[in-house]
Amino acid sequence: MQMEDMIIISVDDHVSEPADMFDQHLPAELKDRAPKLKSVDGADYWVYEGIVLPNTGLNAVVGRPKEEYGMEPQGYAEMRPGNYDIKARIDDMSVNGILASICFPTVCTMDGSIFSRSPDRTLNLRIIQAYNDWQIDEWAGAFPGRIIPLAILPLWDAELAAEEVKRVAKKGCHAITFPDNPANKGFASIHDKFWEPLWKACNDNKVVINCHIGTGSEPRHPSDLSPMNAWITAMPISIANAAADWLHLEPLLRYPDMKVALSEGSIGWIPYLLERAEFTNEQHIWTNVDWKGKSPTEVFREHFLCCFIEDNFGLKNYQDVGEDIIMYECDYPHSDCLWPEAPERLWQGLKDLPENVINKITHENVMREYSFDPISILGRENCTVGALRAQAAHVDTSVKSTSGLKPGEGKGVVTSGHVTAMFASMMPKETP
Amino acid sequence: MQMEDMIIISVDDHVSEPADMFDQHLPAELKDRAPKLKSVDGADYWVYEGIVLPNTGLNAVVGRPKEEYGMEPQGYAEMRPGNYDIKARIDDMSVNGILASICFPTVCTMDGSIFSRSPDRTLNLRIIQAYNDWQIDEWAGAFPGRIIPLAILPLWDAELAAEEVKRVAKKGCHAITFPDNPANKGFASIHDKFWEPLWKACNDNKVVINCHIGTGSEPRHPSDLSPMNAWITAMPISIANAAADWLHLEPLLRYPDMKVALSEGSIGWIPYLLERAEFTNEQHIWTNVDWKGKSPTEVFREHFLCCFIEDNFGLKNYQDVGEDIIMYECDYPHSDCLWPEAPERLWQGLKDLPENVINKITHENVMREYSFDPISILGRENCTVGALRAQAAHVDTSVKSTSGLKPGEGKGVVTSGHVTAMFASMMPKETP
């Protein structure tokens, strides 16, 4: 097997949704109330029911020189079209050897929660359904076999959420985005019986719960003076706190097909956490946790999915992670993305593993867990890195300089305080 | 090499300080203002300048049946004498095959910070010095070669802290306890120039900065309804956030002998974090971090020390952690402690490693880094697990039942909410 033979599916990318996304998915009387993309001095904002969402391109820096990476793209004009245009996205995937992709939302934040924060819940639900129809029919529908659609949910009512899970599953969507810790975002704890209908619906319809880092259990910035790279370093592993919480979720023992994906959490620390969970539950029997005869490691391997951008230590220890729960992610268009050289970098970590394990990690685990089969649609010979790149020879991958805010004015070490202040400065003084 | 041949030094244990600890270390006119151990209905409290510290035996459950573990021992009568009596402690160490131990404080919390929170700073400094004299002269002094003394510092003034480091170093103390993230505890960020005198003093006097989990970067409880074991599982790895922050500390590049120990942080996730730090600093050059030609991994291996209670995944990957930075910890008397079978459990993880690596991990790394040589004091033949246990044949290790608060009334799964409420209930209604 060679690098060009890999079939790569990415389970964590991002979309900056296009301005016209709601046009085809809402009746005329509701279109005026859909989120609108507005512009102030070149900065774009989504506005929904008075909620202003700046930073429409959070970290969407793919295609820039590394010196111009950052977290600040404010306007679509600063971004590569692959951020918002599906045809350009498919091109950017192909030139990067990526067959298929899960795209997390931006308009409603990564966990979709913005549309659960407005008081008009009748409207919220319609917008959520319209969002999902856009993901499924337009974003994923335009190029069959290339996008795994990802739905968002009403988080104020688990019965409604369960109904939406059933609705999107009927349309072929087997993935939802969900806060890694909803209790930290103002919603019910995952351990609240409140969520029972949702867990059952996900189990019964084989819908994977995707919990992206930064949606509840993210680390605080260590201090305003801390170099920004400290926080960036710690960001993925911080989902360990949420992972431990989900691992102790009793419904997992009742719903054999309930699956939780730790999106952008990486894998190299997983074996440590599993051993720690075993140790904890062996020592701390005073807490009366009942594992129903299973071990924490068994429960994790049966119910969790993990992914990585680059994690060669984790890959070396793939047997301790679990070869059936590891998936790949590209993180396009964020600054950890290795576009357009993802296959070259991925191959370094994979090339010494058995071929059947490489296939599991690159695509077979995803296909099984997300009920998604691009190979039957496109033909295996058209799915490999080599084939996709051959189709994308026209794509210009040269780096392009763009302007942008400079936290800390570009001088000295950029700190957490600089970036926090930059984000605060992005909020417009008046509602756009 | 056999289990009995190991020489084991533990770098993380705890002491519930005895009531008379300040008697010999303060002049008569200050004795009345020293922290006092007071009792209300069998619960003991340290009281200092109006600050009440309940839970004097935080998690001090060693010797109980596991069903009675918990975080609630409130009174010294509920604890094994080894918690507060040095002779009993040495016996408990010997019967557990532990040659020497670092004991974190309880009276002033694990990072010593209580004595920096009171307004009378002249008094605070005297109390801090008296505390340190007690650790060095009494607790460690009673049995030479058995206790590595650990000093606390004034955290409001880094010049004073540096002076105290120099003072205790002259007395043979080469370890301080320090918050893993002082900014989260109301003190200056580690990146603040404020601390420069302290870093220099630690470097110049070879004094190790010991950052215990739970002293700034600990995880929030995921939710009130979360099973307590979720939080316990995630507790050690949560120091990854602080580790990433310290790793990006510029003074490390100027002070070659500055050392930071991640106490109770464990080791199995370290290789992942180092790879992540490399990746972050390769991708995020826009933040202008200057590593002066070193890599994050090199800086970590030169300046950090890690320890584990049980972490066989980490030990299997000791080369990726760094065989010169791994140490062992016992965590006596807390509920993760494997007393009195620590050697049996440790040997399972070590027995397949090369003998020179076993020696580094069990004692040589500690001896070098903490300028501590018990072997020259006691003779090598008296330092092994086998020799220590032979001296401790009289020690009664049978489990003893004790009463205690029952979070959640002992029924059903104990949650974070139960434990949080229990801690709140420990605070006396009136100042003892």
Strands A304-308, B51-53: pairing kind = unpaired
Taking CB atoms and an 8 Å limit, are A269 and B266 in contact across chains? no
C-alpha span between B116 and B121 (Å, rounded):
8
Percent of chain B with pLDDT over 90: 84
pLDDT for B71:
67
**pLDDT on residue A171:** 98
Facing residue for B288 by CB, picked from A181, A234, A412: A412
Of A223, A269, A320, Cβ closest to residue B191: A223
A409: left (phi over 0), alpha (psi -120 to 50) or beta: left
Q: What would the pLDDT profile of A108-138 be if each residue is shown by its tens digit?
A: 899 999 999 999 999 999 999 999 999 999 9
Checking if the pLDDT of B430 tops 90, the result is no
HSE-CB of A207 using CA atoms within 13 angstroms: 30
Q: How open is the CA angle B416-B420-B425, to the nearest 5 degrees?
A: 145
Which residues are registered as beta bridge partners of B280?
Answer: none
- Distance, in Å, from the CA atom of A157 to the CA atom of B71, rounded to the nearest integer, reads 36
CA distance A171 to chain B (A): 34
- pLDDT category of residue A73 using cuts at 50, 70 and 90: low
SS3 B10: strand
> Over the stretch B112-124, which tens digit does the pLDDT of each residue have?
999 999 999 999 9
| H-only helix segments in B248-370 | 270-283, 296-303, 312-316, 318-321, 342-350, 355-359, 365-369
Residue A154 binned pLDDT confidence (cut-offs 50, 70, 90):
very high
Q: CB A276 to CB B244 under 8 A?
A: no
Does the pLDDT of residue A332 top 70, yes or no?
yes
Q: Above 90 in pLDDT, residue A61?
A: no
Contacting residues of A for B232, CB less than 8 Å apart: 280, 284
CA distances from A326 to A308, A395, A431, B53 (A): 8, 30, 43, 46
Tell me the C-alpha distance between A138 and A23, whole Å. 11
- pLDDT at A410 exceeding the cut of 90: no
Per-residue pLDDT at B424 = 85
pLDDT at B185: 95
Helix (H) or strand (E) run with residue B419 in it: helix B416-426
Residue A426: pLDDT over 90: no
Q: How confident is the model at residue B72 (pLDDT cuts 50, 70, 90)?
A: low
Residue A65 is predicted with a pLDDT of 84
Mean pLDDT of A33-51: 90
Counted across chains A and B, CB pairs separated by less than 8 A come out at 254
CB B237 within 8 A of CB A273: yes
pLDDT-derived band at A408 (thresholds 50, 70, 90) equals confident
CB contact under 8 A, B234 and A241: yes
- Is the preceding omega at residue B340 within 30 degrees of 0, hence cis? yes
- Mean pLDDT, rounded, for A9-14: 98
pLDDT confidence of residue A71? 67
Nearest CA in chain A to B270: A269
Which candidate, A108, A134, A336, places its Cα nearest to that of A215? A108
Q: Which of A250, A290, A313 sits opposite B275 (nearest CB)?
A: A313
pLDDT digits (tens, 9 = 90+) for B24-37: 999 999 999 999 99
Res. A252: pLDDT tops 80: yes
* Residue in A with minimal Cα distance to B419: A287
Torsion angles phi and psi, residue A334, rounded to 5: -80, 175
- What digits encode the pLDDT tens for the residues B87-121? 999 999 999 999 999 999 998 899 999 999 999 99
Which residues, 6 or more positions from B423, have their beta carbon under 8 angstroms from its beta carbon? B54, B55, B71
pLDDT over threshold 90, residue A60: no
**pLDDT band at residue B213 using 50, 70 and 90 as cut-offs:** very high
Mean pLDDT, rounded, for A240-255:
98
Tell me: pLDDT of A295 over 70. Answer: yes
CB nearest A289 (choices: B227, B237, B271):
B227
Residues of A in contact with B268 (CB under 8 A): 269, 271-272, 275-276
Task: Give me the pLDDT at residue B423, please.
Answer: 85
Mean pLDDT of all residues in B240-253: 98
Question: Which pLDDT value is given to residue A405?
Answer: 67
pLDDT of residue A67: 83
| Cβ–Cβ gap A414/B230 under 8 Å | no
Q: What is the predicted pLDDT for the residue at B91?
A: 98
pLDDT-wise least confident of A51-60, A280-289, A423-432 = A51-60
Q: Is the pLDDT of residue B48 over 70?
A: yes
pLDDT band for position B368 (50/70/90)?
very high
pLDDT above 70 for B405: no
Per-residue pLDDT for B47 more than 70? yes
- Residue A43's pLDDT is 84
pLDDT (tens digit per residue) in B168-207: 999 999 999 999 999 999 999 999 999 999 999 999 999 9
Give the gyration radius of chain B's Cα atoms.
21
- Closest residue by Cα to residue A179 from B223, B416, B273: B223
* Backbone φ/ψ region at B299: left (φ over 0), alpha (ψ -120 to 50), beta: alpha
Confidence of residue B58 (pLDDT cuts 50, 70, 90): low
Which chain B residues touch A310 with a CB distance below 8 Å? Answer: 275, 279
All structural domains of chain B: 3-426 (3.20.20.140)
Per-residue pLDDT of B135-152, as tens digits, reads 999 999 999 999 999 999
- Give the pLDDT confidence score for residue A172 in this predicted structure: 98
